[in-house]
Amino acid sequence: MTGESRSRPEQERTVHIATEAGRPDRSERAVPAGRSLDADQLDDQADAWLVGKAKLGSVEAYEVLIRRHRDRIYRIALRMLGNRDDAEDIAQDVVIQVWTALAGFAGDSMFTTWLYRIVVNRCIAYLKRRRQHTPLEDPDVVRSPGADTRAEARDRLRAALAALAALPPDQRAPIVLVDIEQLSYDEAASILGVSEPTVRGRLSRGRRQLAQTMREWT
């Protein structure tokens, strides 16, 4: 039986998140029929091609997809939740959920839109259950070589993360997607399942609240 015709492995089979940075999407390269791909060739395939293979049960193709997008999955979860352990848990839960739900992905949106919608929804559901927020120092700022680690800079960063964590999830999500992850309004609207004007309105309210909270630091 070929790899494409075998049944999907059981959910309990672990799909690991690679720790290296994901590569950007590339145009699909032609693959001769009947020939398997090595790791480098899989890395060169477009998301849509990999999704098709993963839906047929290819764990290898799915692992490439996750490795490609895992950094943003984690960043979105971290900035939504403000806690590294929680973000890691959500990221791993998303890896499993996406694998089991992939058969239902109809392809009527970009894979990343569908993927990040799952991440945001998991975070929002988690926040509804959790009342305490524990914002942490942003590892991209505090641990980067040459970053300003003086006490005032750390305090300002903690204040900013606390202010972000205090926002309602529906305002926090568009700020994370647009202001931090630099996605377009249209992309954020697709991920959140709302209209672009709604995204802009939530962004405006969230930015206004952040500015008011951070006024003493300006």
Q: Give per-residue pLDDT as tens, 53-66.
A: 999 999 999 999 99
Within 10 Å of residue 127's Cβ, how many Cβ atoms?
A: 19
Written as six digits, the tokens of 86 are 């929680």
Written as six digits, the tokens of 142 are 């505090």
Round to whole Å and give the CA distance between 156 and 21. 28
| Contact present, 191 and 115 (Cβ < 8 Å) | no
Give me the domains of the chain, ranges plus CATH numbers. 8-30+37-134 (1.10.1740.10)
Residue that has been written with the tokens 């995204």 in this structure: 199
Per-residue pLDDT tens digits for 137-163: 454 544 444 545 567 777 787 888 889
Residue 130's closest CA among 83, 61, 74? 83
| Contact present, 47 and 68 (Cβ < 8 Å) | yes
The string of DSSP letters for 174-213 reads HIIIIIIS---HHHHHHHHTS-HHHHHHHHHHHHHHHHHH
Residue that has been written with the tokens 């999830």 in this structure: 169
- Mean pLDDT of the 199-216 span: 93
17 pLDDT band (50/70/90 cuts)? very low
Most confident of 16-20, 106-110, 186-190, 210-214: 186-190
Instruction: Enter the pTM of the model.
Output: 0.73
